Amino acid sequence: MNKIAIYYYILFCAVLLASCADEEPVQDETPPNILFVMSDDHAFQAISAYGQNLNHTPNIDRIAKEGAIFTRATVTNSICAPSRAVMLTGKHSFINGKVDNVQPFDWEQDNFPKLLQANGYQTALVGKIHLDGLPTGFDHSMVLKGQGHYYNPDFQVNGEMQRFEGYVTDLTTEFALDWLDNKRDKSKPFCLLYHQKAPHRNWKPSPRYLTLFDDTTFTPPANYFDDYTNRGTAAKEQEMKIDGHAGWGHDFKMVIDPDGNPTGFDKELARLNDVQRAEWEAAYNPKNDAMKAAKLSGKDLAIWKYNRYIKDYLRTIQSVDDGVGDVLDYLDANGLAENTIVVYTSDQGFYLGEHGWFDKRFMYEESFRTPLLIRYPKEIKPGTKIDKLVQNLDFAPTFLDYAGIEVPQDMQGKSFRKLMKGEDDTWRDAVYYTYYEYPSVHMVKRHYGVSTERYKLMHFYYDIDEWEMYDLEKDPSEMNNIYGDPAYADVQAMMHERLKELRMEYGDSDENDEKFLKAYLDHRNGKK
C-alpha cells in the first residue's frame, strides 16, 4: 500500500469508528403494555407496603418492591364517578363536567384509551367504572352497572347485560385474564383497565375469606373517638361515623339487630344462592350471637363496630390482592412482565376509623390521598419511593407519554414518567382539590382547597362560609385548624395566593361553583 492509500485507509477506519461511537444504542421500539389496576375505596392504610400493619397484601406490595411507591398521590375530587372521569380525561371535574355522582358523564369527549386505540393499542375495560352509558375508547368492555353487586353480579358486556354466578372480585379477575389470554389481538400493545368494585361499601367478603381475622382484635386509630374540637362545622356535621351512621343490617350484617328488630339485611342475603347463603350464615351467625350475648355499650360497643367494619373491609381486600397476584403471574408466565407498566391505585382513599369515620369526600389526608404503586422494569428502579404531590389527573398524560403519543394541550395533568426515573426536579409544589356532592349521603359539605407538601388550606361553602388550614408536618392527623392563628399569618397569605393562582391556572371560579350547584339542586328537585 502506498502512503496515500495508507492515509485513506486510516481515515476510513477513523470515520467508521467515529460513526459507530456516535450511533444511538438500539432502542426497543415496542410501545409498552399498560395494565391499570384500580380498586374502589381502597385506603393506602390497608396496603402492607405502606407499613400500617393492618393487613398483608403480598401481591400488591410486589408492585412497590419491584417498582415505585408514591406516598403523596392524591385525587382532585374524592368520590367515585368523578375520580374516574378525571382519570380518563386528564381534566379536573369542573372541566370534564362530571363533578359528582349524579351529573351525567359525556363519553363523547376525548379520553386516553381513545388516543391509545387510535395509535395502535388494543384497549379493554373490565369491572367497575360507575359512569353510565357504553364506555368509549375500548375494543372490549365488561362493566358493572353503577355500583354493582358483590354476589352474582350483572355485567354489561359490550352493551349487553348478563348475570354471572360467583363473587365479583374473582369474576372481574377471571374476565380480565380471559381478555388478556384469549380475546385480544396479540400483535398489538394492550391497555387493560382492570377495575375492582371491592372494597366498596358494604364490604361483603368472598366465601373463602368470611372468617379471616376472626381471631384478631383490631385497635382503632388514636383519633377514633374524635370530638372535632378545633375543627370547623363540616367535620362536626358529617354523617359518616362508624359508631353513629353505619347501620346494623347493611353495614354490620345482622338480620336482627341487638334490640331484636329486623334490619332488612335478609333482603340482601336473598341474592346469594343456597350454597353461598349457607356459608355466609355459618360464618356470621355465631359471631353475631356472641356479640348480642355480650350486651356491649358505650366505648366497648364502638370498638366492636370498628372491628366488624375493619374486618369485613380487609376481607374484601384479600380477594383484590389475590387477583393482582393472578395477573402478575400471568404476565410472568407469558413473558410480558418486562414490557408492561403495572399500576395499582384506587379511585380515592378512605377512612378506616380515623376521626371515627368510614367513607371519603373530605380533603383531609385519608381520603385526599390514594394508594399508588407502579412497576415498569425498563425504567423504574425497584424500591423507588416518591414523596412528590401527584394526582389522578396525571394518569392520562403519563400513559400517553409512555406510549409515545403527544399529550393534548387541553389535558391538565402532567406526566410523572421522568419523576419516577429521578429526572424531574421541576415538579409542582401544590395541588388543587374540589368537592361538590352536598347535600347528599354522608353530608360532607362542598369545599375546595390547595395543598402543598406541608400545608393545606380549604374553603367550605354553600350553607356555611368557613376556612380551615392545617400544618401537616406538626399535625399530620389534622386535629387542629390553624386558620386565623397569627403565628401562621404569612403562611395563610401564601396559601391564599397559591389557591388563587391554581384556580386561575386550571380555569375554576365562583361562577363554576354556582353553575354546578344549580345543576345539582335541579337534579335533586327532579328538574333533570
CB 111 within 8 A of CB 413: no
Q: Which does 202 bind (CB under 5 to 8 A by kind): ligand SGN, Ca ion, none?
A: ligand SGN
The CA-atom distances, in angstroms, between 398 and each of 118, 193, 277 are: 17, 15, 44
Nearer to ligand SGN, 79 or 411 (CB): 79
CA-nearest of 197, 304, 292 to 254 is 292
Is position 366 an interface residue for ligand SGN (rule: CB under 6 A)?
no
Please pick, from the candidates 32, 36, 37, 40, the single residue that binds Ca ion as defined by CB under 5 A.
Answer: 40
Q: Give dist(CA 43, CA 225) in Å, integer.
A: 20
Is position 241 an interface residue for ligand SGN (rule: CB under 6 A)?
no
Is position 354 an interface residue for Ca ion (rule: CB under 5 A)?
no
Nearer to Ca ion, 126 or 457 (CB): 126
Please pick, from the candidates 200, 231, 311, 498, the single residue that binds ligand SGN as defined by CB under 6 A.
Answer: 200
Peptide bond connecting 207 to the previous residue in cis, omega within 30 degrees of 0: no
**Look-up of cell digits 406538626:** 474
Is position 267 an interface residue for ligand SGN (rule: CB under 6 A)?
no
Q: Which does 442 bind (CB under 5 to 8 A by kind): ligand SGN, Ca ion, none?
A: ligand SGN
Beta strands in 152-275 (DSSP E): 154-157, 160-163, 190-195
Is position 441 an interface residue for ligand SGN (rule: CB under 6 A)?
yes
CA-nearest of 262, 94, 111 to 193 is 111
Task: Give least dist CB 128 to ligand SGN, A.
Answer: 9
Is position 352 an interface residue for ligand SGN (rule: CB under 6 A)?
no
Is position 524 an interface residue for ligand SGN (rule: CB under 6 A)?
no
Q: Give dist(CA 344, CA 374) in Å, integer.
A: 6
Helix spans in 23-156 (H): 58-65, 80-89, 93-96, 112-118
Site string for Ca ion, 307-346 (x = CB under 5 A): ----------------------------------------
Q: Give dist(CA 302, CA 428) in Å, integer.
A: 41
Please pick, from the candidates 60, 64, 75, 80, the single residue that binds Ca ion as defined by CB under 5 A.
Answer: 80
Nearer to Ca ion, 126 or 272 (CB): 126
Q: Which does 233 bind (CB under 5 to 8 A by kind): ligand SGN, Ca ion, none?
A: none
Q: Give dist(CA 137, CA 118) in Å, integer.
A: 9
Nearer to Ca ion, 76 or 512 (CB): 76
CB 412 within 8 A of CB 506: yes
Please pick, from the candidates 38, 80, 303, 352, the single residue that binds ligand SGN as defined by CB under 6 A.
Answer: 80
User: What are the residues whose beta carbons fall under 8 Å from the beta carbon of 75, sequence distance 6 or more?
Assistant: 83, 86, 347, 348, 349, 368, 370, 391, 392, 433
DSSP 208: G
Nearer to ligand SGN, 31 or 199 (CB): 199
The CA-atom distances, in angstroms, between 103 and each of 76, 134, 359, 469, 518 are: 17, 16, 20, 30, 11
Is position 268 an interface residue for ligand SGN (rule: CB under 6 A)?
no
Nearer to Ca ion, 148 or 413 (CB): 148
Nearer to ligand SGN, 80 or 291 (CB): 80
CB 516 within 8 A of CB 435: no
Please pick, from the candidates 122, 156, 202, 367, the single residue that binds ligand SGN as defined by CB under 6 A.
Answer: 202
Is position 320 an interface residue for ligand SGN (rule: CB under 6 A)?
no
Query: What backbone torsions phi and psi does residue 398 show, to the nearest 5 degrees?
Result: -65, -45
Is position 41 an interface residue for Ca ion (rule: CB under 5 A)?
yes
Q: Which does 419 bind (CB under 5 to 8 A by kind): ligand SGN, Ca ion, none?
A: none
Please pick, from the candidates 79, 95, 324, 403, the single residue that binds ligand SGN as defined by CB under 6 A.
Answer: 79
Amino acid identity, residue 34? I
Beta strands in 335-479 (DSSP E): 340-346, 372-375, 384-386, 390-391, 430-435, 447-452, 455-460, 466-471
Question: Quick one: CA torsion of 207, 353, 38, 454, rounded to 10 degrees?
Answer: -160
Amino acid identity, residue 446? R
Task: Give least dist CB 252 to ligand SGN, A.
Answer: 12
Applying CB under 6 A, the span of 134-142, 165-173, 196-204, 487-495 interacting with ligand SGN comes to 196-204
Q: Which does 477 bind (CB under 5 to 8 A by kind): Ca ion, ligand SGN, none?
A: none
Kindly give the interhelix angle for 395-403 and 80-89, rounded to the nearest 10 degrees: 30
Task: Give least dist CB 78 to ligand SGN, A.
Answer: 9
Task: Give least dist CB 202 to ligand SGN, A.
Answer: 5
Is position 147 an interface residue for ligand SGN (rule: CB under 6 A)?
yes
Q: DSSP readout, 377-405?
A: TTTS-TTEEE-S-EEGGGHHHHHHHHHT-
Please pick, from the candidates 62, 84, 201, 315, the single residue that binds ligand SGN as defined by CB under 6 A.
Answer: 201
**Residue whose C-beta lies closest to ligand SGN:** 80
Please pick, from the candidates 139, 226, 359, 366, the single residue that binds ligand SGN as defined by CB under 6 A.
Answer: 359
Task: Give least dist CB 251 to ligand SGN, A.
Answer: 7
According to CB under 5 A, which residues from 186 to 245 bind Ca ion?
Answer: none
HEC letters along 264-320: CHHHHHCCCCHHHHHHHHHHHHHHHHHHHHHCCCHHHHHHHHHHHHHHHHHHHHHHH
| Footprint of ligand SGN (CB under 6 A) | 40-41, 79-80, 101, 130, 147, 200-202, 250, 359, 441-442
Contact set with Ca ion (CB under 5 A): 40-41, 80, 347
